[in-house]
A and B are shown apart, each in its own frame.
Chain A
Amino acid sequence: MKPFTFKRAAASDDAVRAVAARPGAMFLAGGTTLVDLMKVDVLTPDTVVGVGHLGMSTIDETDDAMVIGATVTNSQLAWHPVVRDRYPVLAEAILSGATTQLRNMATVAGNILQRTRCSYFRDVHASCNRRQPGSGCDAIEGFNRGHAVLGVSEHCIATHPSDMCVAMVVLDAAVHTMRADGTTRSIPFDELHQAPGDTPHIEVALEHGELITHIVIPHLPAARRSHYLKVRDRASYEFALASAAVVLDLEGDTIRSARLGLGGIATRPWRAIEAEHILTGRTASDDTFRDAAEIALAGAVGREHNHFKIELAKRTIVRAFASVRDVSL
């Protein structure tokens, strides 16, 4: 690990100023991404500013939303009674990821800002445009079984690894931040993460030093009929090969509205808006869900080892929707 100065911020604005003042400074919350990547020299901050103790760790309910502090842990959120009751897709997504030890450490903001698990990104001796702009991408012609098929570019096909974010994007979460000049803003979840395009090293629409303070999830009664289905190589403690976060609002057999998020197959938490639109007003049959799955994966680009994910994702979508259709509330 490269040497760094550790600072304990006195307050959120103090932390923001400390990181904004130094190009090489980074925030530290749960540490499950940062400490891990510092050990392998992928991240080499010269200053680390701890924010885990700043009190951004409560979950509050307002009349029309749930407000989640940035350093609420993944466990805290998944096990919260309101989340389990009203947003099962979110509780299920979080519980399907990592292990209890990691979920106890990892914060919600840290989960949102976690880095890809692409093995070439993690290996400083490999070519990776995300880690070192312009160096190339060893994954495109390499071992890319776990890589993305949606939102890819010729410069990067790294998968966004989060389960939680896939639920957040279908729930229309908003990410609230504080900037160095003291201003705050709210960023729609679907606009936070950037597809790689020509600039895979730019992963999120945040300025240097901008701190996530909380996440707001609007009330969504339909989310009581929601589900996160994750398909992976092992039964536990493994990233998704394909996953689907679904919300289904039914009137009898007819779909009033539907939401679909995809994980394990995309470069960013993926919202399949067009697929959602064609579901509206149709009968909630497996054939209908298959039509939506075809649309959701229409733009998919498979590589040598990950082509199977395209069909796998379609079947995951159908199964996820079918299971929420069939559940009795």
Chain B
Amino acid sequence: MREATTDRASQTGVRTTLRVNNTTHELSTDSRLTLLDALRDVLGLTGTKKGCDQGACGACTVIVDGQRVLSCLTLVAACEGQHVVTIEGLATGDELHPIQAAFLHCDAFQCGYCTPGQILSAVCAVQEVHAGLPSHVTPDVRQTVNASTLTDEEIRERMSGNLCRCAAYPNIVAAVRQVLVSSGARSAKEDGHEALHV
């Protein structure tokens, strides 16, 4: 057993190495620190938002090892060796990620607080659709879904983990649809690698 403590005097200290937006960080933190608080308070990446802080609203959504997850329910100590992508890591230089561009084009936000989480969630939702993966509202889980024929109900279900108190939902659905249609020709794998820089 490796005691993940850095200081004998502090049994609650823990050292964690993780990559965030392609930069490796060695963090020495309190074991209670969530990934959300580590991103915001330790690394200064305040694009990731703290909404409910109890796993209900999705504002803190980030992508860890290619999967969208809630950073508020993730202990940073449990992220050893993992790669985190936040909203700050999505664009390539000045070139916005297609989901970011679609949110602007479709005016898919009002106050903007939920927007980083919505965008990261949408990046993964689009990849999941391109991989053909079903959702709860897919009529038959044996079937693979098709991006070009995906219903609004499907998009809403896939985005249901991200709440928007301004109720910008119709335009969020429109933004996701725009990307699904425009990226339909690309394979899910290509899209995933472009999107996540992994």
Residues on A facing B (Cβ under 8 Å): 1, 3-10, 14, 17-18, 28, 31-32, 35-36, 38-40, 48, 50, 52-53, 73, 75, 78-79, 84-85, 88, 91-92, 95-96, 98-102, 104-105, 235-237
21 contacts between A and B (CB under 8 A): A3-B32, A7-B4, A10-B2, A18-B1, A28-B78, A35-B74, A39-B54, A53-B80, A79-B133, A79-B134, A85-B142, A91-B134, A92-B141, A95-B136, A95-B141, A100-B121, A100-B124, A101-B70, A104-B69, A105-B70, A236-B136
Contact A91 B141 (CB under 8 A): yes
Task: Give the shortest distance, in Å, between A166 (CB) and chain B (any CB).
Answer: 15
B75 interface residue (CB < 8 Å to A)? yes
Contact B1 A9 (CB under 8 A): yes
Contacts of B140 in A (CB 8 A): 88
Known: A5-B5, A8-B2. A102 touches B12 (CB 8 A): no
B14 interface residue (CB < 8 Å to A)? yes
Q: Which residue of A lies closest to B138 (CB)?
A: A95
Residues on B facing A (Cβ under 8 Å): 1-5, 11-12, 14, 30-32, 34, 53-55, 58, 61, 67-70, 73-75, 77-78, 80-81, 121, 124-125, 128, 133-136, 140-142, 156-158, 160-161
C-alpha gap A36/B54 in the complex (Å): 6
Q: Which residue of B lies closest to A94 (CB)?
A: B136
Contacts of A91 in B (CB 8 A): 134, 141
Q: Which residue of A lies closest to B30 (CB)?
A: A3
C-alpha gap A154/B103 in the complex (Å): 52
C-alpha gap A4/B136 in the complex (Å): 37
Contacts of A7 in B (CB 8 A): 1-4
Decide if the interface of chain A is mainly helix, strand, loop or mixed: mixed
Task: Give the shortest distance, in Å, between A212 (CB) and chain B (any CB).
Answer: 18
Task: Give the shortest distance, in Å, between A84 (CB) and chain B (any CB).
Answer: 5
Task: Give the shortest distance, in Å, between B12 (CB) and chain A (any CB).
Answer: 4
Contact A96 B136 (CB under 8 A): yes
Task: Give the shortest distance, in Å, between B160 (CB) and chain A (any CB).
Answer: 4
Contacts of B80 in A (CB 8 A): 8, 53
Known: A100-B128, A104-B67, A104-B69. A35 touches B34 (CB 8 A): yes
> Within the complex, which residue of A35, A50, A52 is in contact with B73, where a contact is CB–CB below 8 Å?
A35
Contacts of A237 in B (CB 8 A): 160-161
C-alpha gap A99/B125 in the complex (Å): 11
Contact A102 B1 (CB under 8 A): no
Contacts of B141 in A (CB 8 A): 78, 84, 88, 91-92, 95
Contact A36 B55 (CB under 8 A): yes
Contact B58 A99 (CB under 8 A): yes
Contact B1 A101 (CB under 8 A): no
Task: Give the shortest distance, in Å, between A174 (CB) and chain B (any CB).
Answer: 23
Contacts of A79 in B (CB 8 A): 133-134
C-alpha gap A99/B69 in the complex (Å): 10
> Within the complex, which residue of A5, A28, A52, A53 is in contact with B11, where a contact is CB–CB below 8 Å?
A5
